[in-house]
Amino acid sequence: MSEPIVIVGGGLAAGTAAVELREAGHDGYVVLLAAEDHVPYERPPLSKGYLLGEKPADATHVQPREWYDEHGIDLRTGTSALAVDLEAKSVATDDGPVRFGKLLIATGARARRLPLESTDALDVLYLRSMEESTTLHERLGEGHHLLVVGGGWIGMEVAATARQLGTTVTVVEPAEQPMLAALGAEVAARFAEVHRGHGVDLRTGTSVERLDGANAVLTDGSSVSPDTVLVGVGAVPNEELARDAGLEVDNGVVVDAGLRSSHPDVYAAGDVARAVHPLLGEKIRVEHWQNAISQGKAAAHALLGEDVSYEDLPYFFTDQYDLGMEFFGHVPDGSVVRVEPGDSDTSFAAWWLRGDDPVAAMHVNQWDRSDELRDRVRQTWAT
């Protein structure tokens, strides 16, 4: 009989790995330890369709609960892995130890916190879980003023959804543009214009210094009086379980191109994994939806003893208002952005060039170009 496979984490990477194990024909014992009280689910709708109230919770599930029963996956929701003993090859839980032959760590990431405490008059919220999205949704709408701290992906997606629900929205971002690090000044400025056009009070070059009663005092000396503060300032990997077990950890669980950690029977995938990327020639940790799916699948094959080399290039998407965007590739320092105009301000492409070679590309609302962009970027990295 094959040794048990234990998967820790109840997100997209964990759920996808479990599904792939069965699809690959593995019929051995699989345990999935998921800290949240939900079956594994996808998070992108938490700032978009689910937050808007258009997409139901069960549409975010990787598989419905029955699937895990029907496929003999021992899914234990509401169960955290407390510690991993690499010598005994077991995972401690409140219900006792769970033995493993192979272990997959897919514990994801959590919202980065700011030292901003809620006041009696003002709640400070974060957005990572279904419950947090539900709480935020219940507040949004006409007559409510939301202050978004951080003009990154999640902050700007929440701003868009909140505006669509009629909420008054102020966004503060310390950089000169929202999403600047990811998009570069020219493309980021276009996104900024779209948000301003939809009525967002977007204040760049400033941030919240402190909350004072019902006021948020900004670093530029001005203040805002919102009803709710939503902080979206990035995520940090849930790497403590691996680190405490003695695995190599450095901004994520360090794994090779086969997603294997510093212990031969332990793998990592998704937001928590920092993997050697054979094409990019460096270790990267990717906090995006597609990576959680593809690494979850690849990890399943690695757990089954297959030779795996994970070489997918980073990919992500965002939806803000009627603006859908896809981004392919990786942007090394010194790359130059070239914007390729389209039919309108909300339809264009952009290339990140190293010399003449595209190292990354994105399109906005040019959905028939996905394959072309992906292939051209891949060609650069593959040669």
Asked if residue 364 binds ligand FAD (CB under 6 A), the reply is no
Q: CB-wise, 43 or 218, nearer to ligand FAD?
A: 43
First to last CA, the chain: 43
Asked if residue 74 binds ligand FAD (CB under 6 A), the reply is no
Could you give the string, one character per residue 78-97, with x where binding to ligand FAD holds by CB under 6 A and - elsewhere? --xx----------------
Asked if residue 127 binds ligand FAD (CB under 6 A), the reply is yes
Residue whose structure tokens are 């014992």:
29
Asked if residue 44 binds ligand FAD (CB under 6 A), the reply is yes
Asked if residue 226 binds ligand FAD (CB under 6 A), the reply is no
Any bridge partners for residue 184, and if so which? none
Asked if residue 149 binds ligand FAD (CB under 6 A), the reply is no
Q: CB-wise, 104 or 218, nearer to ligand FAD?
A: 104
Q: How far is the CB of 150 from ligand FAD (least distance, A)?
A: 12
Asked if residue 352 binds ligand FAD (CB under 6 A), the reply is no
Q: CB-wise, 173 or 326, nearer to ligand FAD?
A: 326
Asked if residue 107 binds ligand FAD (CB under 6 A), the reply is yes
Q: CB-wise, 125 or 241, nearer to ligand FAD?
A: 241
Q: How far is the CB of 35 from ligand FAD (least distance, A)?
A: 3
Q: How far is the CB of 210 from ligand FAD (least distance, A)?
A: 26
Q: How far is the CB of 38 from ligand FAD (least distance, A)?
A: 8
Instruction: Please give the structure tokens belonging to residue 259.
Output: 């997603």
Asked if residue 35 binds ligand FAD (CB under 6 A), the reply is yes
Asked if residue 108 binds ligand FAD (CB under 6 A), the reply is yes
Q: How far is the CB of 92 from ligand FAD (least distance, A)?
A: 10
Walk across the sheet containing 168-173 and list its strands: 123-125, 228-231, 145-149, 168-173, 201-204
Q: Which of the ranges 12-20, 66-74, 180-188, 254-262 carries the binding residues for ligand FAD, by CB under 6 A?
A: 12-20
Instruction: Please give the structure tokens belonging to residue 226.
Output: 């919102």
Which of 5, 13, 276, 308 lies at the binding interface for ligand FAD (CB under 6 A)?
Answer: 13
Q: Which of the ranges 21-29, 41-49, 196-204, 338-346 carries the binding residues for ligand FAD, by CB under 6 A?
A: 41-49
Q: How far is the CB of 43 from ligand FAD (least distance, A)?
A: 3
Footprint of ligand FAD (CB under 6 A) = 8-14, 33-36, 43-44, 46-47, 80-81, 106-109, 127-128, 154, 238, 241, 270-271, 287-290, 292, 316-318
